[in-house]
Amino acid sequence: MSKRNLFDEVFNRSISDFVGTDFVLNMPSVNIEENDDGYTIQLAAPGLTKDEFKIDIEKDRLFVSAEKEQAEEVTEGKYTRKEFNYSSFKRSFFLPKSIDREAIEANYENGVLSVVLPKKAEVVIEEKGRTIEIR
């Protein structure tokens, strides 16, 4: 093999060839939706379990993180190969004062983590408005 071909072989591979296809290179995609009652944050994070997520609130921030570690051992004849894959991410979101922090809920289903951030009751009433009766 020529030096040029060896160079191409080593440096033209994708990072997934070296660390495995399950390695997370980017942050998960996020959708944030607002409705009358609050916000919903959806994170696309397939391949994880709900136990691998951690959701924390610190001051005016919501932190969503996950860690996954996999170890695989294959024995063929006299040789044993061990492969380790590790992936993690951490995202943070600003929490408006209108959010009811005690009512925040999360659900993980079909590879999507949904975090529901309900607005405080008085904020919902103000936003919906009302009609004043004239006496």
Asked whether residue 123 is assigned to any structural domain, the reply reads yes
CATH number of domain containing 56: 2.60.40.790
| Full domain range(s) for residue 57 | 26-128
Specify if 97 maps to a domain: yes
Residue 87 included in any domain: yes
Within a domain: residue 12?
Answer: no
First to last CA, the chain: 94
Cα-based distances in Å from 46 to 6, 43, 122: 35, 9, 36
Domain total of the chain? 1
Q: What pLDDT, on a 0 to 100 scale, did the predictor assign at position 24?
A: 43
Residue 86 lies in a domain: yes
Residue 7: inside a domain: no
Which pLDDT does position 23 carry in this prediction? Answer: 44
- Report if residue 106 sits inside a domain: yes
**What does each of the 135 residues of the chain score in pLDDT, given as a tens digit?**
555 554 455 455 444 444 444 444 467 899 999 998 999 999 999 988 999 999 999 999 999 999 888 777 777 777 777 777 778 889 999 999 999 999 999 999 999 999 999 999 886 666 666 666 766
In a domain, 114, yes or no: yes
Cα 20 to Cα 32: distance, rounded to the nearest angstrom: 30
Q: Could you tell me how far CA 128 lies from the centroid of its own chain?
A: 32
